[in-house]
Every structure is written in C-alpha cells, then in structure tokens.
Amino acid sequence: MKKQAFAKNASINQRVKILRKSLNLTQKEFAQKICVSTSFQTLTELGKKKVLDRHIKLIVTAFGVNEAWLRTGEGEMFEKDVTPDFKIVDTVKIFKQLNPYFQDFILDQMQKLLEYEKKTGNNSLKN
C-alpha cells in the first residue's frame, strides 16, 4: 500500500523508474524494449527529460501497464489480463532501422495483408 501511495504522489518520471524496477530490468534493458537510448532512459528517470505521449504508448504496449497509473498514479500498475506485446516493440525497433523506401514497402504490404484478411475472413495461416 505504501508503494501505491508513493506512486500517486510521484512524478511520471519517477513512476517510469518504479515500473522498471518492479520489472527487474536494467535501464539498458528497459530502454531497448521501448526503443530509446540508455542515456535517454537515465535522464528520464532523473527528471531531466519529459516522458512524451509516444513513450507512454510504447511503455503501455510493451509492458501491459495501466496508462492511467503511468500518467497519474491512479489505479493498479498493470492492466488486468493484458499480456505485454513485445512483438510490437521489436517490430518498431527493426522498422526504425530500415531505409525509408523499405519502410514504405513494409507499410504497403501490411495494408494489403490486412485487406486480404478482412476480405477472406481468414485471420490465421493454415499448413
């Protein structure tokens, strides 16, 4: 209960640190999962960098965190029945490393796959 009360009074930067420690991750490991540098993560935890909306979305998605808790300290730290989706984080990490031409190609192919899936009602591949 003390930890929850502290989180409510903590800044968003402090809650990011509380989250990271509760996950037993180093700053480097946490930073890699949300596609930021270790130095950015360190400065964020020290309150020298702002936690931007895009970082909040990545943290929520990567770790199954309750967005309201992260922003305000209200509620539980983690969403109930939500499994962190590391595929999204890994995809973003790889995507950011691609040349813009290939990024456009990947986006186009993903759109075509989505349209195919909707058209056929087939959302799983069969052997």
Asked if residue 31 lies in contact with residue 90, where contact means CB atoms within 8 angstroms, the answer is: no
Tell me, what DSSP letter sits at residue 35? T
Spell out the per-residue pLDDT of the chain, length 127, in tens. Answer: 455 666 788 999 999 999 999 999 999 999 998 889 999 999 999 999 999 999 999 999 888 899 999 999 999 998 876 656 667 767 877 888 899 999 999 999 999 998 998 888 876 655 4
Residue 127 confidence (pLDDT): 43
What pLDDT score was predicted for residue 57?
92
The rounded distance, in Å, linking the Cα atoms of 46 and 89 is 24
User: Letter for the amino acid at 86?
Assistant: F
**Which residue has tokens 């199954």?**
64
